[in-house]
Amino acid sequence: MIRRLTIATAAFCAAAGVYAADAKIGNISIDDIWARSGQPGQVSAAYMEVKNKGAADKIVAANCDCAKATELHDVKMLDGAMKMVPVTAMDIPANGELKLKPGAYHIMLIGLNRPLVAGDMLPIKLKFEKAGEVTVQAKVKDKGLPAGH
Ligand SMILES: [Cu+2]
């Protein structure tokens, strides 16, 4: 009976999206993790919200076995056009948050080796400078890649 109650409570919390972060490591929690759908040979991008309850940290690397290369990218205005630029790290302020979103920081998946289909959960390994490594599950959404993603 207690076990059944626990499961019901967990399901409620997950549905309400109140308590449970999608992933957690140390003082860092990660939510709203998603990636764009795509076909083999194409590129995709992943986005998420990173919240930090501790000292400043950084995302220093990401890796997905779904792609030939996984890079950290930012989007900047260059010569009047939005262009992606690779970065070596994404800063997460102390007691603050970092949002990876379209038109800003994103994780670039280059050269997909399999189709990414809406509804799939895609594992992506993140490496934080201080907090260490954690694998998150990105939900694939049926959104193509716009210019200046
Ligand atoms: Cu990019």
Question: What is 117-137 written as a DSSP string?
Answer: -TT-EEEEEEEETTTEEEEEE
Helix (H, G, I), strand (E, B) or coil at 90: strand
Minimal CA–CA distance to 116: which of 43, 47, 11? 43
Which pLDDT tens digit goes with each residue over 83-104? Answer: 999 999 999 999 999 999 999 9
Quickly tell me which residue has 């109140």 as its tokens.
18
Domains of the chain: 21-141 (2.60.40.1890)
- pLDDT recorded at residue 78: 87
* Distance between Cα 40 and ligand 1 center (Å): 17
* Distance between Cα 58 and ligand 1 center (Å): 18
- pLDDT recorded at residue 146: 61
What is the token pair recorded at 73? 């990218």
Evaluate if pTM is beyond 0.85: no
State mean pLDDT over 121-129: 97
Minimal CA–CA distance to 70: which of 100, 32, 30, 29? 100
- pLDDT recorded at residue 16: 43
14 pLDDT band, cuts 50/70/90, is very low
Please provide the average confidence, as pLDDT, over all residues in the chain. Answer: 88
* Distance between Cα 26 and ligand 1 center (Å): 28
* Distance between Cα 113 and ligand 1 center (Å): 17
- pLDDT recorded at residue 147: 53
